[in-house]
Amino acid sequence: MYSRSGPSTLGKYAQAYSLLRDVKPATLRQYQIVATLYERWAGGPVLLTTLDETSVSEWLRDYAQTAAPATVRGKKSMLLALWRAAADDGLCDPPTRRIRSIRRSAPRPLVQAWTLEEVEQLVAACRGLPRRHRCGLPRRQWWDLAVRVAWDSGLRWGDLVALPVARVRPDGTVTVIQAKTGRPATFRLSPGTLEALRVSLVACPRLLVCPWPASQESFMAQARILVRRAGIRAGTWKWLRRASGTDVEVQRPGAGSVHLGHAPGSRVFAESYGDPEIIGRLLPGPRPLWFDRQPGVG
């Protein structure tokens, strides 16, 4: 017998997860996604009381056929967190046996970011956008500001669309607490971005710098259209955060991680944000061999 009544299936439990726990909307969305993936694989709603280690391992094995190892590990962690939480709530038994481990089966892919020139093309592509944004600004003006702020700040999408106008000081300095890590991040908006913000506030007074009332999926879909319009390499909005950090790193080695608000000593920047090709272009190479320094010798 289980001690409490509540949602009976994995999907319903994921939907109701935030009722008893303080969880960020983006994290809640990931819990709901993993529950949907597992129930889709199982062919229908999965009762919490029927969760078992063998079935979860089989799902992970099948999911790994089409997903990257890091993605599979993330989904495994999310599913186990849901399962253990449901057990804590008295709705099922906790996992007790070993579940399939996910090993890294391929080298870590190279980090890619847009160059300064590509970001400039992205800004230029905003100028021809038709219609108006929901906040009242022309879409060309809203996206121009969003790209500029993302480049100057290196903020994640969630922090970007939640950035209060009140946090922007007259000199462009901004300090925010990152929603994902809880760590502070400080950056300075360029004079051009400050002017774009000032003009946009005259046209459309508001509390947020880049308000986005629709879903993240909708934002990313429109961002992909903008990227195609700019004629630059296909990439996600995250490429802009990487580009910002990489450009700072090129100017001052070691500063890219600080700019993006990573913890001191963290390897996150080197592994996931700094584009080695862009950074490597400015690194000094070894001096020429003697033979190459002597005309006619070789």
pLDDT, tens digit, for every residue of 133-176?
A: 888 899 999 999 999 999 999 999 999 999 999 999 999 999 99
pLDDT digits (tens, 9 = 90+) for 49-82: 999 999 999 999 999 888 878 788 899 999 999 9
Domain that holds residue 64: 10-88
pLDDT of 298 over the 60 cut: no
Banded pLDDT at 3 (limits 50, 70, 90): low
Rg (CA), the chain: 24
Residue-level pLDDT at 82? 95
What mean pLDDT is reported for the chain?
A: 90
Banded pLDDT at 285 (limits 50, 70, 90): confident
Distance CA 247, CA 52 (A): 48
Note whether residue 82 is domain-resident. yes
Q: Are residues 77 and 131 in the same domain?
A: no
pLDDT of 131 over the 50 cut: yes
Q: Are residues 218 and 265 in the same domain?
A: yes
Distance CA 89, CA 4 (A): 7
- Residue bearing tokens 């993936």: 37
- Residue bearing tokens 């056929």: 65
Note whether residue 97 is domain-resident. no
pLDDT digits (tens, 9 = 90+) for 200-259: 999 999 999 999 988 888 999 999 999 999 999 999 999 999 999 999 999 999 999 999
Q: Which among 70, 244, 72, 31 is positioned nearest to 157, based on CA atoms? A: 244
Note whether residue 246 is domain-resident. yes
Cβ neighbours of residue 260 closer than 8 Å, sequence gap 6 or more? 154, 185, 241, 244, 245, 269, 273
Q: Are residues 81 and 124 in the same domain?
A: no
Model confidence, pTM: 0.73
Note whether residue 104 is domain-resident. no
Note whether residue 297 is domain-resident. no
Note whether residue 261 is domain-resident. yes
Q: Are residues 61 and 185 in the same domain?
A: no
Mean pLDDT, residues 169-184 taken together = 93
- Beta strands 173-177 and 184-188: pairing type? antiparallel
Q: Are residues 170 and 63 in the same domain?
A: no
Distance CA 155, CA 174 (A): 11
Q: Are residues 59 and 125 in the same domain?
A: no
Classified as helix, coil or strand, 71 is helix
pLDDT of 297 over the 70 cut: no
Q: Which two tokens stand for residue 4?
A: 């409490």
The residue among 35, 69, 88 that closes a domain is 88
pLDDT of 192 over the 80 cut: yes
Note whether residue 127 is domain-resident. yes
Residue pair 254/279 in contact by the 8 Å Cβ criterion: no
CATH number reported for the structural domain that contains residue 167 in this entry: 1.10.443.10
Distance CA 154, CA 273 (A): 10
Banded pLDDT at 1 (limits 50, 70, 90): very low
Q: Are residues 66 and 142 in the same domain?
A: no
Q: Are residues 127 and 42 in the same domain?
A: no
Residues 242, 245, 250, 254, CA torsion sign: negative
Total number of domains constituting the chain: 2
Q: Are residues 83 and 123 in the same domain?
A: no
Residue 215 parent element (H or E): none
Q: Are residues 71 and 170 in the same domain?
A: no
Cβ neighbours of residue 209 closer than 8 Å, sequence gap 6 or more? 145, 149, 160, 163, 164, 165, 168, 197
Q: Are residues 191 and 235 in the same domain?
A: yes
Note whether residue 215 is domain-resident. yes
Q: Are residues 59 and 124 in the same domain?
A: no
